Copies of this chain bind each other. A is one copy, B any other.
């Protein structure tokens, strides 16, 4: 697994450099700083790496797809800033550092989130203006907007806010997670495929892989939050419990959650057997995402 660790580290560094190039060059310093601060707050870049790996699996040169991967991470980062706001999850820490609103104030944090979301679509539009990419870029932009919007990630966050303190069934929890985390996860895979001009069949297979992996990923997040320590997580351990949030460990217990995550991961990987391309990297990524400890 040393080679795979090195691969993840290299891809992360590549995404970090590309993200830095995406930031606007003019505009008020404080907003650019707030955007950079949240982007640089030590994320693992799992979503953009999975976008790049998907495109490579379908034969694309991942250097050509790096802006698409950046758009995914810009949207993910904006969502973290807004989720942490006092009116939302009210979280003072993110990845072990003060959250954006604690560093820059609530107004700038709201605007920095808005600006990152806006920037994602600017990056995609400019990516698409290279000849030959127009149609793929529009499909990617529509895909990410739908994944991030009221029918996807934002809708999931609304469900989550209203579910606080109430008991959900496992299927309600899976529906909520499917929107809140799963939609952007699935989007990250699908836009990698679209950037590589996937066939409809390839797109369908990879969407199935992504849907199951996204559910597994959320369960592991819940588990790490449940049993982790503050130092491991970079946020107060058990903070979901304190706020009575609906999570897998709370609903079905730690052992059953672990088992469910493993099953979903296997189902995700089985989808790849039907793909007409070697997909070991996507298999390795799935296992790493599900059997991680941080």
B118 close to A145 (CB less than 8 A): yes
Q: Which of A11-19, A48-56, A157-165, A260-268 contacts B (4 or more CB under 8 A)?
A: A157-165
Which residue of B is nearest A23, CB measured?
B150
Per-residue interface assignment for chain A, residues 108 to 135, with 1 indicating a CB less than 8 Å from any chain B CB and 0 otherwise? 1011011101110110111011000011
A129 cross-chain contacts in B, Cβ below 8 A: 135, 138-139, 142
In the assembled complex, the Cα of A89 lies from the Cα of B24 at a distance in Å of 25
What is the bound-complex CA distance between A138 and B124, given in angstroms? 9
A142 to B137, CA, bound (A): 12
Do the beta carbons of A28 and B155 come within 8 Å of each other? yes
Number of interface residues of A (CB under 8 A): 54
The answer to whether A107 and B122 touch across the interface, beta carbons within 8 angstroms, is: no
Beyond A24-B150, A129-B139, A149-B24, is A158–B88 a contact (Cβ under 8 Å)? Answer: no
**A141 CB-CB contact with B under 8 Å:** yes
Report the minimum CB–CB distance from A45 to chain B (whole Å): 22
Q: Assess the A115–B28 pair: CB atoms within 8 A.
A: no
B110 A155 Cβ-Cβ under 8 A? no
A27 with B155: CB separation less than 8 A:
yes
Cβ distance A158 to chain B, nearest Cβ, rounded Å: 4
Query: In the complex, what distance in Å separates the CA atom of A105 from the CA atom of B155?
Result: 15
CA of A114 to CA of B149 in the docked complex: distance in angstroms? 8
Which candidate, A29-37, A57-65, A239-247, is the interface stretch facing chain B? A29-37
A78 to B111, CA, bound (A): 12
Q: Are B28 and A150 in contact (CB under 8 A)?
A: yes
